Amino acid sequence: MKIIQTNNAPAAVGPYSQAVEIDNLVFASGQIALNPATGEMAEGIEAQAHQALKNAQAVIEASGAKWENVIKTTVFITNIDDFGKVNEIYATYFKQPYPARSCVEVSKLPKGALIEVEVIATK
Ligand SMILES: C=C(N)C(=O)O
């Protein structure tokens, strides 16, 4: 098992690693829209979706896996009415054939985030 750590994504906001690699799989923790340079949360669902996806990509790339090799994602959003907006942005980060995905509405996310994105990739 290998722990992945990068300054190109926000530091963990709790007792977890940014990602854990085992065999040929990289399990990344959920990313919220904190700017890794400033620690500030992006504002609004669109900006948060971009930042959360960028953070997830930075973690995966820090592991040496390719973003194209993401196989499964989970998207947590605090308002399912944002589903369409999130899909539009999400689709710009992935090419077909898309990874498997679950998208769920949750009541609250850490630090008041509107979205959290979790990914699993192969190496
Ligand atoms: C942001 C997280 N991934 C967490 O708190 O677990």
Atom 3, ligand 1: which residue's CA is nearest? 30
**Has this prediction a pTM greater than 0.95?**
yes
Whole-complex ipTM: 0.93
Q: How big is the CA angle at 19 (ends 117 and 51), to the nearest 5 degrees? A: 35
> Is 32 near ligand 1, meaning CB less than 6 Å away?
yes
pLDDT on residue 35: 98
Q: In angstroms, what is the span from residue 95 Cα to ligand 1's centroid? A: 26
Ligand 1 atom closest to the CA of 118, numbered from 1: 3
pLDDT on residue 111: 98
Average model confidence (pLDDT) for the chain? Answer: 98
- Active-site annotation holds for 16: no
Which region, left, alpha or beta, applies to residue 23 given φ > 0 means left and ψ of -120 to 50 means alpha? left
Q: Are 115 and 78 in contact (CB under 8 A)?
A: yes
pLDDT > 70 fraction of the chain, expressed in percent and rounded: 100
Tokens at 94, concatenated: 């992935």
Choice among 103, 104, 114, 117 that is catalytic = 103
pLDDT on residue 58: 98
Q: How big is the CA angle at 115 (ends 74 and 94), to the nearest 5 degrees? A: 50
pLDDT on residue 69: 98
Q: In angstroms, what is the span from residue 63 Cα to ligand 1's centroid? A: 18
For the stretch 1-60, pLDDT in tens is 999 999 999 999 999 999 999 999 999 999 999 999 999 999 999 999 999 999 999 999
pLDDT band for 62, please (50, 70, 90 cuts): very high
pLDDT on residue 1: 97
Structural domains of the chain, ranges and CATH numbers in brackets: 2-122 (3.30.1330.40)
